[in-house]
Amino acid sequence: MTLDRLPIGNTAVITRVGGEGALRCRLLDMGLIPKTKVTVTKVAPLGDPIELRLRDYTLTIRLADAREIEVTEA
């Protein structure tokens, strides 16, 4: 499953970060690395972007970027 499909309030563990080049580096730099627990906390009214909670901070990313991150529910 990809991160964009994780329901609000559910927690998952990142298994793979996709994308190429600058996109992948940016996702990794933001702390979205494999074996990290992530929780979807909010979704914008029109569905994009989504707010995540990981490593004791809040991060907001676009759905297109969330589709590049594979997770398994914890």
Cα 60 from Cα 72, distance rounded (Å): 20
Q: Is the Cβ–Cβ distance between 73 and 1 less than 8 Å?
A: yes
Inter-residue contact 14 to 38 (CB < 8 Å): yes
Closest CA to 69 of 31, 18, 29: 18
Of all residues in the chain, the percent with pLDDT exceeding 70 is 100
63 pLDDT above the threshold of 80: yes
Instruction: Using a cut of 0.85, tell me whether the model's pTM lies above it.
Output: yes
Q: Per residue in 26-62, pLDDT tens?
A: 999 999 999 999 999 999 999 899 999 999 999 999 9
pLDDT, averaged across the chain: 93
Query: Would you say how long the chain is, in residues?
Result: 74
